[in-house]
Structure 1
Amino acid sequence: MALLHLVDQIVWAAVTEDRSFGDLLPQLMEASKTAPPAEMNDAMPRMAEGIAEAPANLAGWLAIISGAWIETGADPVIAGLAVVQRITDVISGALTFANAWEEAAGGKPPPDMHEEKPSQHIFDTITPRLGERAVGAMLAWFALPQFTMAGCTVLQMAPSIRAGLADRDFRALAAGEAAEYLPQMDHFHALLRVLDDERLLVLDRESRKGWTVTIGGIGDNFQLHILLAGALIGRPDGLPGDRPAPEIVACFLDADVPPGPPVISSPWNLVDAHGEWIWNEGVPADIPVVNGTRVIVIDPPSYERSFPAGRRFPLMPATLQVNADHLPENLAGWWQHIAPAKH
């Protein structure tokens, strides 16, 4: 059966809640194994309709399949946009379910999203508190893992969607709350905070030199740390030291990590303009803004930090470009805003 025809059938079944959905789902999964990306792209608009319109529990499976298509080369934007738009409602419904359950069940943990399924007992437990919202909240609760998995794929592989999302702070707040119930939501929360086309000012306290850099697709400050080292060490008017090997830097940009993985040592201590440490476990969005710009200050390392090479989000390519070198005499106005490092 042609992929587009099969997708049309399963989307109809999902939207109308027809029983044929259960038979069509394994057929679509099997057909997806050999379908070329061009066929997937043709079917994506119809998949997007199903993701947007079907009940959350069925739409979640369409989102999962769309995510798998994206990972194998299909265009991430059409269905991907539908996924990230719908996931906000799914998160809201899941949180509504969790609150109602905790009120009704006397402290008993909510049902396991992975091991259990919607049931009459679960419905009866939350209905006195949610009324007609009970079905939607229950279905959202059990669909959250599927939407989270698909959403993480989309946000890693579609920078245009990341950059175009409205209310990212609100979405991230909701995702952070949902992570209490689904740890994988931590990844979605972090991806919502990824900066793209963001200019940073990097200052070296010892030489008083500075650089303007533009970053994108960086998942944590481990990655930022090594990409800065790769860009600034050994550069004309750059910094002294041992530059990470090109193949190591590539692991933090867009390359596959070799078996092992290799272990890399951090050459510096990074602090913000207030003197607070920029923790490698954090993300670039944590770095405070000063006069409209996030500022990083390079200090000598306080101790040796070593960590494995690679990206937190392997599907997300990163960029770091040096836009300008700044001489010490041109940075005098900035240093008055920079506090000493706090130890």
Structure 2
Amino acid sequence: MSLPNIADQIVRAALVEDQTFGELLPQLMQATQTASPAELNAALPRLAEGIAEAPPNLGGWLAVVTGACVEQGADPAPAGAAVVDRIVDVAAAAMAFADAWEQSAGGRPLPSMQDEQPSQQIFDTVSTALGDSAVTAMMSWFALPQFAMAGCTVLQMAPSVRAGIEDRDFHAFAAGKAAQHLGQMDHYQALLRVLDGERLLVLDRASRHGWTVTIGGIGDNFQLHMLLAGALIGRPGGLTGDRPAPEIIAAFLDADAPPGPPVVSSPWNLVDAHGEWIWNEGVPADVPVVNGTRVVVIDPPSYERTFPAGRRFPLMPATLRVEGMHLPEDLDAWWPHIKPATR
């Protein structure tokens, strides 16, 4: 049986909660491993319907399969968008379950999402507080790890899905609440903050030169730091210093880190237009906007920062393009808005 046919059958079973779902799931997973790209792409729209409409405990497994298809090169839309949209509802229902449990369980710890299963006893504990929504809330609690895993895969590998998220702050708020109970939702929330096609103005305080760069798929400021070094050191009109080796730059772009991985050193201190440090543990979205543009200022390093080569999100390729260089006289209107470093 072809992958699209299996996908159609399992979605039919999921929508009516038929027991054949459990029999078809291994077949679906096996079929995705040998399917052609055309078959993967043909199956995903049907899986998207199941993700959107099936009960969360079944939709979560369809989401996991969707993530596997995307990893194998399938077009992530529209199934990827269905995963991201459903996570909001599943996370909200899971948090309702957590609240009801804390009200009604007499101090007993919350059930483990990974190590326990829905049960009559768990349902009875929350049913009074949740009423008719108790089943959905309980199933969402146990399905959240599957949705989180699939969501992290989709957001890493699908810039189009990231770009299509409406009301990203609402998605991030839901993910942030769920991250209190499931660590992977912290990664999911961070992925929601990834910037794509974002222009930054990079200013070198010492030379008064500047550059406009466009970034995408950068998971943290460690990565931003090293990609700026790769782009600006040694280029005509660029900065002096030791440019990272090509294999190191590649590890921060789209390649696997060399074995080890090697420890790299940041060549600068980065601050924002207000003089506040841009912490490596943060993300480019933390950099404040000034006059419609995020501004990064390069200062000499105040101490040596070292960290392992590689990306926080290994499945997410990054880009950093230098769009243009600005001479000191081009930046006269900018420097009055730039404060000295606060440290």
Shared fold per TM-score greater than 0.5: yes
Q: Residue 330 of structure 1 aligns to which amino acid in structure 2?
A: D
Asked if 1 retains the 8 angstrom alpha-carbon contact of 2:205 and 2:297, the reply is: yes
Using the TM superposition, give the Cα deviation of residue 25 of structure 1 relative to its aligned residue in structure 2, in angstroms: 1.0
Q: How does 1:1-343 map to 2 (within 5 A)?
A: 1-343=1-343
Cα distance in 2, alignment partners of residues 54 and 154 from structure 1:
19
Letter in structure 2 aligned against 1:294: R
Partner SS for 1:270: strand
> What amino acid is aligned across from residue 182 of structure 1 in structure 2?
L
Distance 2:127 2:290 in 1: 49
Matched residues in 2 for 1:36 and 1:256: separation? 25
Query: Is this contact kept in 1: 2:201–2:296, CA < 8 A?
Result: yes
The superposition leaves residues 41-67 of structure 1 with CA deviations (integer Å, 9 ceiling, x where unpaired) of: 111111111111100000000000110
1:288 Cα deviation after fit: 0.7
Q: Which runs of 5+ in 1 are unaligned?
A: none
Aligned partners of 2:120 and 2:37: how far apart in 1?
A: 41
Shift in Å, 1:283: 0.3
Deviation of the 1:337 alpha carbon: 1.1
Name the stretch that deviates more: 248-257 or 25-34: 25-34
Q: Matches of 1:326 and 1:132 in 2, distance apart? A: 62
Q: CA deviation at 1:324?
A: 1.4
Query: Which amino acid in 1 is paired with 2:183?
Result: P
Give the TM-score of the pair, scaled to structure 2: 0.98
Cα deviation digits, residues 203-258 of structure 1 (max 9, x gap): 11111111111100000000000000011111111111011111211111111222
Shift of 1:106: 3.4
Give the counterpart letter for 1:269 in structure 2.
N
Q: Unaligned 5+ residue runs, structure 2? A: none
Partners of 1:267 and 1:108 in 2: CA distance: 51
CA contact (8 A) 2:247 2:258 kept: no
Deviations 1:175-208 (A, max 9, x none): 1111110001111000000000001111111111
Q: Over aligned residues, Cα RMSD in angstroms? A: 1.0
- Superposition deviation, residue 152 in structure 1: 0.6
